[in-house]
């Protein structure tokens, strides 16, 4: 699977405008983009599970996993089935980021941003593949991908998710004692199957907004942030917020 690394996205992760005019930086982005493509060993897995609501949270049937918290419950409000996915760029990308940290901080941050862009692009493709499968089965839609650590869904389930998918064996993806995914440029996520369109689907609307109003993004982001995210502990690091998506948690 060839992953596209969109320069605008890279610049966004670098907290820069897409109109950045700096020959050096632009050249470094170009170089990092082509270099990282050679290092990426993109691997992914996903599996479908039925879910049921229980007192503790959402039980993922046939597994040991129970998804706890308000935000995931809201996220999967319209779903009876979920997909659990895991994806990684592989260990070589991490090693190269560490390498550049010793050579040049500028290069390492650019490389890191390219890697983040790549793993997100990879996940988009996996998500599209899942969506195709879901639609083919006669369903309406899927929810966006929801990862441990979003809202009040704890990252303590990281290891269990990996175990369920046998991700360490199959794609070399592990979690550390502190539930950090390693290789670090990796994602686990939960996607709900939506069987029929409901009236209120803010997330879908948000995403449509994103598609149409890229140019107004900054304004919209601001409004959206004050609405939802200001009080969240993950405020600064939230990948979702950067994309203008609201995870569903009430701060």
Partner 1 sequence: MELKDKLGNQIILFDGAMGTVLQQRGLKAGDVPEKLNIEKREEIVEIHKSYLKSGAEILTTNTFGANALKMKETDYSVEEVVSAAVQNARQAVIESEIEAAVALDMGPLGELLEPMGSLSFDEAYSLYQQQVLVGVEEGADLIHIETIADLYEARAAVLAAKENSNLPVFCTLTFEEDGRTFTGSSIHSMISVLEGLGVDAIGLNCSLGPEKLEPLVEEVLQYSKLPVILQANAGLPVVENGETVFKISPAEYFKPIARLYEKGLAVIGGCCGTNEEFISLIAENLKNKKVKEREIIKESLACSPSQSVNLAGVNVVGERINPTGKAAFKEALRNGDLDYILKVAVEEVDAGADILDVNLGLPEIDEKKVMVKLINELQGILDIPLQIDSSNPEVIDEALRYYNGTAIVNSVNGEREVLEKTLPAVKKYGAAVIGLTMDDEGIPTTAEGRFEIAERIVSRAAEHGISRDKIIIDCLTLTASAQQEGVRETLRAVKMVKEKLGVKTTLGVSNVSFGLPARPVLNRTFLAMALYQGLNLPIIDPNDVEMMAAVKAAAVLNNIDQGAAQYIEYMSELENKTESESEAEEDLTEKNDLQTVIIRGLKSESARLTQELLKEKEALEVVNEYLIPALDMVGERYEKGDIFLPQLVQSAETVKEAFSVLKEEMARTGGRDITKGKIVMATVKGDVHDIGKNIVKTVLENYGYQIIDLGRNVNIREVVNAVVENEVQLLGLSALMTTTVKNMEKTIKAVRDKAPECQIMVGGAVLTTDYAEMIDADFYARDAKEAVEIAKKIFAE
Residues that bind partner 1 (CB under 8 A): 11, 14-17, 20, 22, 24-25, 28, 41, 43, 47-50, 62-65, 90-92, 94-95, 97-99, 101-106, 108-110, 112, 149, 155, 159-161, 163-164, 168-169, 171-172, 174-180, 182-184, 233-234, 236-237
Q: Shortest approach of partner 1 to residue 121 CB, angstroms?
A: 20
Q: Residue 97 or 189: which CB sits closer to partner 1?
A: 97
Residue 47 or 125: the one with the smaller Cβ distance to partner 1 is 47
**d(C-alpha 226, C-alpha 8), whole Å:** 24
Does residue 152 contact residue 71 with C-beta atoms inside 8 Å?
yes
Grouping H, G, I as helix, E, B as strand and the rest as coil, residue 148 is strand
The owner of tokens 């593949």 is 129
DSSP state of 195: -
- In contact, 171 and 104? CB cutoff 8 Å: no
The residue among 108 and 117 lying less far from partner 1, judged by its C-beta, is: 108
Alpha-carbon distance 181 to 195, whole Å? 31
User: Which residues, 6 or more positions from 4, have their beta carbon under 8 angstroms from its beta carbon?
Assistant: 121
CB of 132 to partner 1, least distance (A): 15
What is the number of residues in the chain?
A: 251
**What is the closest distance, in whole angstroms, from the C-beta atom of residue 99 to partner 1 in the complex?**
4
Between 204 and 234, CB nearer to partner 1: 234
Smallest separation, CB 75 to partner 1 (Å): 20
């Amino acid at each position: 699977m060839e992953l596209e690394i969109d320069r605008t996205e890279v610049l966004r992760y670098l907290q820069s405008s897409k109109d950045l005019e700096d020959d050096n930086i632009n050249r470094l982005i170009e170089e990092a983009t082509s270099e990282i493509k050679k290092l990426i060993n993109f691997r992914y897995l996903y599996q479908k599970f039925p879910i049921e609501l229980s007192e503790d949270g959402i039980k993922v049937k046939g597994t040991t996993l129970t998804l706890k918290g308000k935000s995931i419950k809201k996220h999967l409000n319209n779903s009876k089935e979920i997909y659990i996915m895991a994806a990684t760029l592989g260990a070589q990308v991490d090693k190269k980021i560490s390498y550049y940290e010793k050579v040049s901080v500028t290069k390492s941050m650019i490389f890191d941003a390219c890697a983040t862009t790549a793993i997100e692009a990879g996940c988009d493709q996996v998500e599209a593949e899942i969506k195709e499968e879901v639609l083919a089965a006669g369903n309406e839609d899927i929810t966006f991908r929801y990862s441990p650590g979003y809202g009040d869904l704890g990252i303590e389930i990281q290891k269990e998710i990996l175990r369920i998918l046998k991700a360490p064996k199959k794609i070399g993806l592990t979690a550390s004692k502190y539930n950090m995914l390693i290789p670090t440029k990796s994602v686990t996520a939960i996607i709900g199957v939506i069987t029929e369109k409901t009236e209120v689907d803010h997330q879908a609307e948000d995403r449509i907004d994103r598609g149409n109003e890229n140019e107004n993004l900054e304004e919209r982001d601001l409004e959206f942030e004050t609405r939802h995210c200001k009080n969240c502990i993950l405020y600064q690091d939230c990948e979702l917020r950067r994309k203008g998506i609201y995870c569903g948690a009430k701060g």
